[in-house]
Amino acid sequence: MHERIKASQLAVHAQDGGCQTLENRMMGNTRRKETTMESRRSFISKVAGGAAAMATAAAPGTAATPPRRPNILWICTDQQRWDTIHALGNEHIRTPNLDALVETGVTFTHAYCQSPICTPSRASFLTGMYPSTVHACMNGNERWDEAAPLITKTLADAGYDCGLSGKLHLSTAQAHEPEIRPKADGYRRFWFSHSPGQGIGQGNQYTDWLESEGHDYKALKQKYGYLPAPLHQSTWCADRAIDFIREERSGSWLFSLNCFDPHPPFDPPQEYVDRFDVAALPGPLFREADLEAQHRLREINFQTKPTHPKQFNGRLHQAKYWAQIELIDENVGRILRALEETGQRDDTLIIFTSDHGDMVGDHGLRAKGCRFYDGLVRVPLIISWPERFRQGLRSEALVELTDITPTLLDVAGLPIPETILGKSLLPILTGAADPRSHREFVRSAFYRTLSRGPQSYATMIRTRRHKLVNYHGHGLGELFDMENDPGEFDNLWDDPQHAEVRFELMTRNFDALTFAVDIGPRRIGRY
């Protein structure tokens, strides 16, 4: 039931990466529009060429059918960090189906989310704007503020048939069960299940399905300590995607698969954990000095207290986390086979990403909170459409998840509003732009995002060379040299030799915050 593509079939073609070019915001906006327009013209000309061929072949007096926009399969896991895919360097994990997407697509190895927490991050990549711009900075918010249209609604209005399985999480899924959906999210099919065991009998369609199959979630969890793979929420989400893919329709579709894993509590089926030689795993990134470094940030919000990995068996913790991802990978393989079996793979653009990461014991921290280490804010981003996009390309350009929405608008031939702050990836995907360069820097933020603990505010800016974090109101911060210290152990915030770098990055961060302010309704008069 859960077959996987053989590893021998996965020949991944790596490409050289490099440093970013510099651009200020105003010149950057001009150049990005010129590059994007050039890429769009090239992309649209290919589609138009197909239309012309169809018109030539059409019978006299008949109108040629315009080419279809691609289907879009958008897989977004929950809390999956960047270093969890075999083909991208993790030799301990088995992800043959994600490896296949790497082989047939473009992988952005330096993709950053705009918040290390669920709701703000999802708000950003579903709108192409920053969480602060669309009033979605917190988990547990009363409602979606309707401050910007979701890309799914825009595509639905353009004729896409949209479906979802799993979570949406643009507003509280705890105070309201189920979550109150936006007024217009574009989804015709909405198979909701925020987390596997939450909201049982109150809108959790996954546990409703379990019950219809003669199973009780709590009884299974009590018996095994986990849900068997065929009954797992990740499998159910994939089943619903396959159902949607197999529906008869004449137009293009978009499906959002938003499973809960690999989010804690790290309870995969035991046989997936047993695949790992736990003693041979590398364990978390950790130095003894990490405990003191985290003690310095003790007034800054985080879900767990800093702990030596020996105290929670860091290698086993890592194995359980990776085991959940192996189960996800198997379900990705099932969906890919469904696309092949229905003859839709060539017409389907696939996105694989995650809303944010998890510390998994790095620096003595587990879960998430107000920190910006790569384990939390750097995520997978693979975009595969072999019929139109480059294959086997690994781009080391700095990209944000805000870039997904304008990319999809570009692909669909729809206008990109000036209010969108993301930058289309289409030029890189089609080979029209240098894959080593996209953004001068990326940003992420935490604004009172979690309800428990200190109500912290912090912002991050990361260039190719450095990462700066400002914990606002505390006089504290972090500055890391990402070339010489990729593990982010040596904080240069107070180093006099890096004072100029610190000042420059703080200035640029302040500029970026200002440019992202929501300035209100559009201006229609001089005064």
37-88 pLDDT tens trace: 555 555 544 543 333 333 333 344 444 445 679 999 999 999 999 999 999 9
Q: How far apart are the first and last CA of the chain?
A: 66
| Residue where the block lists tokens 């990005």 | 32
pLDDT value for 41: 52
Average pLDDT, the chain: 90
Angle of helix 205-212 relative to helix 217-224, nearest 10 degrees, comes to 80
Stated as kind and residue range, the H or E segment containing 305 is none
Rounded distance between C-alpha atoms, residue 115 and residue 460, angstroms = 9
Torsional sign, CA 385, 327, 380, 123: positive
Residue 24 has phi, psi (to 5 degrees) of -85, 170
Rounded distance between C-alpha atoms, residue 524 and residue 295, angstroms = 52
pTM for this prediction: 0.89
Pairing label, strands 393-400, 106-112 = parallel
Looking at the predicted structure, is the pLDDT value of residue 27 above 70? no
pLDDT value for 448: 96
Rounded distance between C-alpha atoms, residue 282 and residue 366, angstroms = 16
CB-CB neighbours of 247 under 10 Å: 11
Mean pLDDT of the 84-102 span: 98
pLDDT value for 42: 55
pLDDT value for 29: 43
pLDDT value for 40: 57
Closest to 137 in 3D by CA, of 170, 92, 101? 170
In this structure, the dihedral spanned by the alpha carbons of residues 428, 430, 431 and 435, taken in order and rounded to 10 degrees, is: 20
Closest to 437 in 3D by CA, of 28, 41, 113? 28
Looking at the predicted structure, is the pLDDT value of residue 524 above 60? yes
pLDDT interval class at 136 (50, 70, 90): very high
DSSP state of 369: B
Closest to 83 in 3D by CA, of 314, 360, 309? 360
Looking at the predicted structure, is the pLDDT value of residue 330 above 60? yes
Rounded distance between C-alpha atoms, residue 423 and residue 440, angstroms = 12
3-state secondary structure of 209: helix
| Residue 329 and residue 348 in contact, taking contact as beta carbons nearer than 8 Å | no
pLDDT value for 174: 87
pLDDT interval class at 155 (50, 70, 90): very high
Mean pLDDT of the 267-295 span: 98
Joined tokens for residue 136: 């979605």
The DSSP line for 434-486 is: -TT-S-S-EEEEEES--SSS---EEEEEE-SSEEEEEETTTTEEEEEETTT-T
Looking at the predicted structure, is the pLDDT value of residue 22 above 70? no
Instruction: Tell me which amino acid residue 139 is.
Output: N
Report how far apart, in Å, the C-alpha atoms of 161 and of each of 18, 152, 244, 250, 307 are: 39, 9, 10, 10, 47
Name which residue leads in pLDDT, 80 or 16.
80
Give the range among 5-9, 319-323, 505-509 with minimum mean pLDDT.
5-9
Looking at the predicted structure, is the pLDDT value of residue 421 above 80? yes
User: pLDDT tens-digit profile of 363-414?
Assistant: 999 999 999 999 999 999 999 999 999 999 999 999 999 999 999 999 999 9
Name which residue leads in pLDDT, 507 or 34.
507
Side-chain half-sphere CA neighbours of 202 within 13 A: 15
pLDDT value for 15: 34
Looking at the predicted structure, is the pLDDT value of residue 14 above 80? no
Stated as kind and residue range, the H or E segment containing 206 is helix 205-212
Joined tokens for residue 173: 């899924």
pLDDT value for 43: 58
Joined tokens for residue 485: 């210290």
pLDDT value for 68: 79
CB-CB neighbours of 97 under 10 Å: 24
pLDDT value for 175: 86
- Whether cis (ω within 30° of 0) applies to the bond prior to 454 is no
pLDDT interval class at 271 (50, 70, 90): very high
